[in-house]
Amino acid sequence: MQTIKTIIADDHKIFLEGLKTVLPRYRNASIEIVGEATNGEDLIRLLKKQAAHLLIFDLNMPGKDGLEVLEYIQALGLSLSTLALTMYDSPKVVRAAFHAGVDGYVLKDKGIEGLFAGISAVLEGNPYMGSGVNISDGLPGASQPLRQRRYQFSDRFVKKHSLTKRELEILHLITQAMSNKEIARELFISDQTVSVHRKNIMRKLGVSNTAGLVKIAYDNSLV
């Protein structure tokens, strides 16, 4: 039987223990857990040193969140299948995850069979959206030049949170799943400047990770 080297990541250790109990019941292959992490920064370090066929991870993690981890996977050119296992069911977050390169998306509350179906699909090279996941409105595009885009912002929300024009530009690009380096190239500024703006935006909007940032941006018509 084929052995699938797997890394699992979630900020709840008890959930990781549950995964380690459930994954051996997968019958299409033998799943070998070769690493685990409880935050995005540890996960990135693990991915750099540990080869794997499959990553099962939550989007909502401290430090680097799941969307940022996907950016690193793309930047490093890692060859592994990725399956988001999360509670985020917002179509906007789902779209951002697929834009960032995730292969499959499964909701935590849909049971073991949904997880196993997602694993089978991504290992075969097929994109997978589990039960309850909906992006029927299509994936957002980023092909139109920045200066030609028209932003529709909620003035009241913008004023309340004191968002600047530059922060709004960066927020829009973040929702397109662009990395700090890509945003820097787009706006002709440094990576460090983008990083500072990103942190300021999160502080002003009261969110702790990119997934939450994407959700609040769409929920309040900021992009």
State the pLDDT at residue 149: 31
Q: What is the pLDDT along the chain (223 residues), one digit of tens a residue?
A: 789 999 999 999 999 999 999 999 999 999 999 999 999 999 999 999 999 999 999 998 888 889 889 988 887 778 899 999 999 888 888 888 888 889 999 999 888 999 999 999 999 888 899 988 877 554 443 333 333 333 333 566 777 788 887 888 888 888 888 888 888 888 878 888 888 899 999 999 998 888 888 888 877 767 6
State the pLDDT at residue 140: 42
The domains of the chain, with CATH numbers, are 3-129 (3.40.50.2300), 146-219 (1.10.10.10)
Question: Is the pTM for the entire model greater than 0.85?
Answer: no
Q: Which residues contact 113 (CB under 8 A, 6 or more apart)?
A: none
Q: Of 85, 125, 89, 91, whose CA–CA distance to 105 is shortest?
A: 85
At 72, list the tokens: 């690193």
Q: Which residues contact 68 (CB under 8 A, 6 or more apart)?
A: 40, 209, 210
State the pLDDT at residue 136: 58
Task: Classify residue 114 as left (phi > 0), alpha (psi -120 to 50) or beta.
Answer: alpha
Q: How far is CA 207 from CA 16, 46, 153, 175, in A?
A: 24, 25, 18, 14
Q: Which amino acid is at 36?
A: E
Half-sphere exposure in the Cβ direction for 90 (13 Å, CA): 15
